[in-house]
Amino acid sequence: MQNGIEYTSSCSLFNVLQGKMFVRKMGGVSFFPIAPKSLDPTIVFYNAIKPAMRDNGFSGKKFPLKYDNGSGAPEAININIHTYSARVVVLLVSKLIVQREGVATSLLVLQDMESHPGLHNLVKAVCSVICFGHGRSDYKSFSPKVYPVAVYEKSLGEASISDVVAVEALTRHRNPRARIIEDILKKNIDHQVDENSILIDRQGIFARYAYEFGDERNNERKMESVHCLFESPRVF
């Protein structure tokens, strides 16, 4: 962060909260030395990003915001903000995408934040406020580092996503070599209990769920735990 702005204590933009929920989501971890604090946005923060909200089709008073994507059915966009130190802040951006046809062939596009320009601009505006305070409005020059965390839920009767497509989505490389697919599947063998699977790589997370295997809430808890464990080492 620049200009001497530090978020280790509450300020006009954020109320700083202890990250106890973050640690609990890891599951079975009672102490974690690098657990983050949560930055709870204030009205000053929301006023600062209001121009970006207006220009990019967002509405609402606080997260989650409503996003008009032009389909006639506004989406809910949520952003959770964590700080690990005076200079490290992580944004968890949540977007629900529902698509019935051609999912496997468009996963790389769906995971690319730049293919969602309105959302991308909002994220850059949030980064700008964090780095420069509410007096900064030129957010379009930002290029935040992105680690996709994607979940594909298969309904009954739908075809499963193959290992090849899953590894392609995880690595963000088309037509990965057989050796790469084998290495990633081997590294994640402990997660492959049934047709449900979670693949983890240094570039992100990709999960495949089928409703006939396990309950939805259990899948959500597992994904929350995996994401928290993935996030922490990325900041150091």
Q: Strand locations in the chain, DSSP E?
A: 14-17, 37-41, 58-59, 65-67, 75-85, 88-95, 149-154, 197-201, 204-210
CA of residue 98 relative to chain centroid, distance: 16
- Residue 118 and residue 50: Cα distance in Å, rounded? 13
User: Where residue 112 falls among pLDDT bands split at 50, 70, 90?
Assistant: confident
Higher-scoring residue by pLDDT: 10, 3: 10
Q: Taking residues 221-236, what's their average pLDDT?
A: 76
Residue 192: how many other CB atoms lie within 10 Å:
14
Residue 115, token pair as written in the block:
């293919």
Any idea what the Cα angle at residue 80 is, between residues 125 and 142, rounded to 5°?
Answer: 25
Spatial contact of 130 and 217, defined as CB atoms under 8 Å apart: no
Mean pLDDT highest for which of 7-11, 22-26, 199-203, 218-222? 199-203
